[in-house]
Structure 1
Amino acid sequence: MNLKKHIFALSLLICTSVFSQHTYVFLGSYNTDKTAESIQVYQLDTVNGNLSKIAGVKNITNPSYLTVSPNGKYLYACTDTKTPNAGSVSSFEFNPEDKSLTFLNKQTSGGENPVYVSVHKNGKWLVNANYTEGSVSVHPLSENGRIDSITQNIHYTDGSIHKERQTRSHVHSAVFSPEFDYLFLPDLGADKIRCYAFNENQKQPLTETPVPFTKTDLEAGPRHFSFHPNKKYGYCIEEMAGSISVYEYKNGTLQKIQRVNTHSDKIKEGFASSDIHISPDGKFLYATNRGKENNIAIFSIAENGFLKNIGYQSTFGDHPRIFALDETGKFLIATNVNSGNIVVFKRNPKTGLLKKVGNEILMENVSCVQIKRIKLKNA
């Protein structure tokens, strides 16, 4: 072995011995029992798909939706969800070395029933969507992971045509663009995907754009949104219509190019489509159907962004609200709210199909899952 190769091999050995990476699974729930762990953390065995519990927190009401900071040090949650005259966002510090999750602080969410929270890639901004009051809030984040008070809060009052579900705005998610320079807000109540420019260097980062929203089909009920890894296409799952709309994306604007059903042909009404994600390689899209089907719809993605349904996978439970793909695309984990079970699937990278693996975990009213691979220093 020559000197350069020897030095490289030695450096690799040192790095491997000092640092390692583990994959962690964060679970949130609808839970008003202060004595129960409403947030739980598991380690994912990336060989067999087994989950091993390492941490949990109590005294947190309805942490319905979670997100992990880019560096993996902090967990943020929509809390006091579905609580009348309330709504908050909370922060926690995650320490994988001592296997702890510690509450840091919380702030008002700026509206009732927060349902979605996102963190900017720079780790300095948190944005949350409030469903019942139809609003979006922006919070600065401190270096120690704590959430500061709201710096910007925008409310909407317009609705759409459904007499019961669309009497007013219901913002269901807040999704950053691929470059984190725009923020998209699918609004189930207004049949709109709202858009703002996001300037990370301003005290109030949201500013209006020439095209403030994209109108969806009537009674679509836009819910969640996912961008393709190539940054050219965006996909919006429509809860009320049981469909997915495909958009060409460029500089904060969306141009619809396709619309397909999320549900199977045997379902004619009562749709409840929920979550949507794309495999890291950009070849497959996954979307959940709740209620009558309780499955994951699987689509292949063509080079022009178009979708083609290639199958459905049962989630082996009732009401799959949120699911997540790990960063390698090897595993997909689904949460079933009504049956309270978490199911791990291994993904075939060639076919896109899913196979149940590992051990099944139970957690009452589990509503959300996030997966994060974190580098830690060995003891």
Structure 2
Amino acid sequence: MKLAPSLLFLLLLAACTPSQTQPESMNSVSTPKSYQFLVGTYTDSIHHGINYLYFSPDENLMTIETIAAGIANPSFVVSSKDGKKVFSLEEESGIQGGKVLSFSRNPETNELALLDQDDSQGDHPCHIALSPNEDFLILSNYTGGSLSVFRVSQGGQVDFVQKIQHTGKSVNKSRQEAPHVHSTLFDREGKRVLVADLGTDKIYVYDFNPSIAAPLSLSGELPMTPGDGPRHLAFSADGKEVLVVEEMSAMLDVFSYENGVLSPKQRLSLLDEGFEGAVGAAEIRLSPDGKHVYVSNRGEANTLSVFAKKSNGEYVRIQNIPSGGIIPRNFNLTDDGKYLLSAHQASNDIVIFERDAVSGTLSLTPWKATVHKPVYLHRLPN
């Protein structure tokens, strides 16, 4: 039987047209999901230094390697938004304090090349804050009780421009005998800088004007509860609250924030009822969706605390879970919020938790990496 030309064309067209349920390419392979972090450490050898961590749950793979050896105690490390410049420090003491260092980073090989370095102008720098425009950085000099401001050139050079020395003390004679600046935080607009001083039990607020020679000027001080020892700070997702982790009392303080003014809202404990032992609250992070707050606690607690925000605006602790190691000085979340990595200074490891996207609670996974004294985790862009 012969088919009419028009019918033959329609049959051929149907035979060559893929079904709507057929994949575009039978041979297409999706790229495994992966995450990458820079790891700051305390060092005891010239072979120690800044590390690079790669984690791919799809490949069931977690690796870590040293990419900048011979740096003394690079306990804090941060990158530019594109990941091509890296800033670190040497948490040391000396005539001019420790060091601040800048590197260029090759995203393909993760190699770091030293661009510049300068003295920190204060003993034991322990924290770096990079301005929103990435043209200034601030070092917190813990033992020196000061903060140092550096201008960052487009080429990555760091030039010292200002030092602010804190004075005072608080109630704990062994740990608060002098100022101990622990961290700084730029606000969302980049117009102010908040400073946590463990030694004086205060949060300081500085106006920030990058167009003048000395860009920081004090605009306010907020006393904490005596003996708190404020350590690290974070903004809520909307920028209207400041959350402060109090190292020595293991508390989370919540403040409203408007135009540089902080007002107390809530105070929550990291400790389960009946806990007795040494504490040392350390890091605070928000989940990428802004719905949950995470805080680590060292000492004899070694826990991660999870807080959720209720509909009335108050926070509530919903979980206390062992951190998976000893001395969880730092932790961080992946960019999609699916995993939390916890770094342990004393047990020399980094473990991974899976995060429930709805409840925010954590569950420990089998993934674990060994590394010498990890004390900071910085998330790199993928």
Superposition TM-score, scaled by structure 1 size:
0.88
Closer, same or farther: CA 356–97 of 1 in aligned 2, 3 Å: same
CA positional deviation for 1:315: 1.7
User: Which structure is richer in relative contact order (CA contacts within 8 A, separation 6 or more)?
Assistant: 1
Counterpart for residue 6 of structure 1? none
Closer, same or farther: CA 220–32 of 1 in aligned 2, 3 Å: same
Matches of 2:200 and 2:372, distance apart in 1:
32
Matches of 1:138 and 1:303, distance apart in 2:
40
The number of equivalent residue pairs is 354
SS in 2 for 1:373: coil
Quick one: percent identity of the two aligned structures? 29
CA positional deviation for 1:48: 6.2
Matches of 1:98 and 1:163, distance apart in 2:
48
Contact residue 283 and residue 300 of structure 1 kept, 8 A: yes
Counterpart for residue 196 of structure 1? 206
CA positional deviation for 1:139: 0.3
Counterpart for residue 357 of structure 1? 365
Structure 1 position 236 matched with structure 2 position 244: yes
Amino acid across the alignment from 2:234: S
Deviation readout 1:285-313 (Å, 9 max, x if unpaired): 10001021111011112245422111112
Matches of 1:140 and 1:303, distance apart in 2:
42
Query: Which of 48, 53, 58 is the matching residue for 1:42?
Result: 53
Structure 1 position 30 matched with structure 2 position 42: yes
Counterpart for residue 166 of structure 1? 176
Query: Which of 220, 227, 231 is the matching residue for 2:235?
Result: 227
Counterpart for residue 118 of structure 2? 107
Matches of 2:75 and 2:37, distance apart in 1:
15
Greater mean alpha carbon deviation, residues 241-250 or residues 257-266: 257-266
Contact residue 277 and residue 299 of structure 2 kept, 8 A: no
Deviation readout 1:31-63 (Å, 9 max, x if unpaired): 0411x1311112232646742346511110000
Greater mean alpha carbon deviation, residues 289-298 or residues 44-53: 44-53
Contact residue 70 and residue 121 of structure 1 kept, 8 A: no
Contact residue 134 and residue 156 of structure 1 kept, 8 A: yes
Contact residue 231 and residue 282 of structure 2 kept, 8 A: yes
Structure 1 position 291 matched with structure 2 position 278: no
Contact residue 354 and residue 362 of structure 2 kept, 8 A: yes
Contact residue 67 and residue 110 of structure 2 kept, 8 A: no
Matches of 1:254 and 1:43, distance apart in 2:
39
Counterpart for residue 8 of structure 1? none
Counterpart for residue 259 of structure 1? 267
Structure 1 position 133 matched with structure 2 position 144: yes
Structure 1 position 184 matched with structure 2 position 194: yes
**1:302-317 matched pairs, under 5 angstroms:** 302-317=310-325
Closer, same or farther: CA 277–153 of 1 in aligned 2, 3 Å: same
Amino acid across the alignment from 1:132: T
Counterpart for residue 250 of structure 1? 258
Amino acid across the alignment from 1:119: L
Deviation readout 1:187-215 (Å, 9 max, x if unpaired): 10001001101123333221222xx2111
Deviation readout 1:224-249 (Å, 9 max, x if unpaired): 00101111111000011110110001
Matches of 2:101 and 2:53, distance apart in 1:
20
Counterpart for residue 123 of structure 1? 134
Counterpart for residue 321 of structure 1? 329
Structure 2, gaps ≥5 residues long: 1-30
Matches of 1:304 and 1:246, distance apart in 2:
14
Query: Which of 267, 271, 280 is the matching residue for 1:272?
Result: 280
Matches of 1:20 and 1:196, distance apart in 2:
44
Counterpart for residue 10 of structure 2? none
CA positional deviation for 1:78: 2.2
SS in 2 for 1:106: strand
Matches of 1:254 and 1:307, distance apart in 2:
17
Matches of 2:287 and 2:255, distance apart in 1:
17
CA positional deviation for 1:222: 0.4
Matches of 2:107 and 2:78, distance apart in 1:
16
CA positional deviation for 1:82: 4.4
Query: Which of 214, 217, 225 is the matching residue for 1:217?
Result: 225
Structure 1, gaps ≥5 residues long: 1-18, 375-379
CA positional deviation for 1:183: 0.5
Amino acid across the alignment from 2:67: G
Greater mean alpha carbon deviation, residues 190-199 or residues 353-362: 353-362
Amino acid across the alignment from 1:42: L
Matches of 1:119 and 1:300, distance apart in 2:
28
CA positional deviation for 1:102: 2.0
